[in-house]
């Protein structure tokens, strides 16, 4: 099993970031010291084509592997794939292939499913579903052309505050993720906070069916806390009330042996040392859960 942390290149311009890390190279070196194995890099439709490959090289120089997490909501959104030019994804898959060659390990690419009747595309539910399912079938085949690259479909966040509408996204339930990826050579990324939010809203049961657990090939691990304005996720494990230990026990029982991303902010009130303690403690507890599940 591999552990990683998320890095958005935009973070490096913040004052708090510079105070704690100075530059990304120092952050990646620190991540390696904390026992992490990979960094998941954010990619938006505004990201310059060569930027992620260049940042991935710096990740590799720190001794870490790479994952890519696209945030595509415009012309490259899954819900309008039937209207898209697939060549628009070439820079992403080219960069993923370059990083797979460089690191000598798998590069996971975690896509969000599409949105329903939401800006900027406003696709009706049936059209969005058909386009998104077509996208994942195509993306699985496209990744198969690039050695070392694997595509995953992430469980989606059920609402987008402050709109708080009942349904805006695809893939917000265990069943729908299975349906969207049916017949596609892709795995599922189980985002703990997103799936837990859907359960709290009554969209699906607290725990997923075995068929879902068997398809999980990547995890976004984070906790959920209560605030004055409601529940907020992307918090370190152990500080809230998301049943992440139960989630990991299910994965352990299914023989999961892939990547676990700690999807939390790198800027920490305790500085580098504080974040290192959080990461180290989480790794130790997850390892213990999996050790207990072995015969």
**Digit-coded pLDDT (tens) for 190-238:** 999 999 999 998 999 999 999 999 999 999 999 998 887 777 888 899 9
170 burial type by CB count under 10 A (0-12 exposed, 13-18 middle, 19+ buried): buried
Instruction: Report the run of H or E that residue 73 belongs to, with start and end.
Output: none
The answer to whether the beta carbons of residues 224 and 233 sit under 8 Å apart is: yes
Neighbours of 213 (CB within 10 A): 19
Q: Residue 255: phi, psi to the nearest 5? A: 80, 25
With both helix axes pointing from N to C terminus, report the angle between 90-103 and 125-144 in degrees, rounded to the nearest 10: 40
First to last CA, the chain: 17
Domain assignment of residue 226, yes or no: no
Instruction: Report the run of H or E that residue 43 belongs to, with start and end.
Output: strand 38-44
pLDDT at 163 over 70: no
Distance CA 104, CA 127 (A): 39
Q: What average pLDDT does range 238-253 have in this prediction?
A: 95
What does the block give as tokens for 170?
């695809």
pLDDT at 165 over 70: no
Domain assignment of residue 17, yes or no: yes
Mean pLDDT of the chain: 93
Q: Residue 232: phi, psi to the nearest 5? A: -130, 130
Domain assignment of residue 53, yes or no: yes
Domain assignment of residue 25, yes or no: yes
Domain that holds residue 145: 2-220
Neighbours of 63 (CB within 10 A): 14
* pLDDT for the residue 161: 59
The answer to whether the beta carbons of residues 73 and 160 sit under 8 Å apart is: no
Domain assignment of residue 262, yes or no: no
Instruction: Report the run of H or E that residue 210 belongs to, with start and end.
Output: helix 210-215
Q: Looking at the 3D structure of the chain, how many domains does it have?
A: 1
Task: Enumerate the β-bridge partners of residue 41.
Answer: 7, 68
Read off the CATH number of the domain in which 111 is found: 3.20.20.150
- Tell which residue, 70, 81, 79, has the closest CA to residue 115: 79
Distance CA 174, CA 198 (A): 9
Domain assignment of residue 275, yes or no: no
Q: What letter does residue 155 receive in the DSSP assignment?
A: P
Q: Which has more confidence, 7 or 162? A: 7
* pLDDT for the residue 270: 81
Domain assignment of residue 177, yes or no: yes
What does the block give as tokens for 159?
């609402």
Domain assignment of residue 201, yes or no: yes
Cα angle value 39/40/46 (rounded, 5°): 130
Q: What is the pTM of this model?
A: 0.95
Binning pLDDT at 50, 70 and 90, where does residue 25 land? very high
**Count of all residues that appear for the chain in the document:** 295
* pLDDT for the residue 24: 92
**Digit-coded pLDDT (tens) for 247-288:** 999 999 999 999 999 999 888 878 888 899 999 999 999 999
């Amino acid at each position: 099993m591999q552990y990683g942390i998320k890095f958005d290149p935009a973070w490096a311009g913040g004052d708090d970031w510079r105070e704690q890390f100075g530059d990304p190279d120092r952050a990646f070196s620190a991540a390696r010291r904390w026992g992490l194995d990979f960094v998941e890099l954010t990619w938006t439709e505004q990201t310059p084509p060569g930027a992620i490959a260049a940042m991935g090289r710096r990740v590799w120089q720190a001794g870490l592997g790479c994952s890519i997490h696209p945030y595509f909501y415009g012309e490259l959104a899954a819900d309008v794939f039937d209207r898209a030019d697939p060549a628009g994804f070439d820079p992403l898959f080219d960069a993923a292939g370059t990083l797979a060659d460089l690191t000598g390990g798998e590069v996971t690419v975690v896509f969000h499913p599409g949105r329903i009747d939401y800006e900027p595309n406003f696709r009706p539910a049936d059209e969005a579903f058909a386009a998104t399912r077509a996208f994942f079938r195509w993306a699985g085949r496209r990744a198969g052309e690039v050695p070392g690259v694997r595509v995953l479909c992430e469980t989606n966040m059920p609402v987008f505050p402050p709109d708080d509408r009942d349904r805006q996204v695809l893939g917000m339930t265990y069943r729908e993720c299975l349906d969207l990826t049916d017949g596609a050579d892709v795995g599922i990324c189980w985002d703990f906070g997103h799936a837990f939010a859907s359960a709290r809203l009554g969209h699906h049961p607290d725990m997923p069916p075995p068929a879902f657990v068997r398809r999980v090939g990547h995890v976004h691990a984070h906790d959920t806390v209560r605030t004055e304005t409601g529940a907020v996720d992307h918090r370190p494990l152990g500080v809230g009330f998301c049943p992440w230990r139960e989630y990991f026990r299910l994965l352990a029982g299914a023989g999961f042996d892939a990547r676990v991303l700690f999807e939390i902010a790198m800027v920490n009130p305790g500085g580098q040392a504080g974040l290192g303690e959080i990461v180290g403690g989480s790794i130790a507890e997850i390892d213990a859960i999996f050790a207990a599940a072995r015969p």
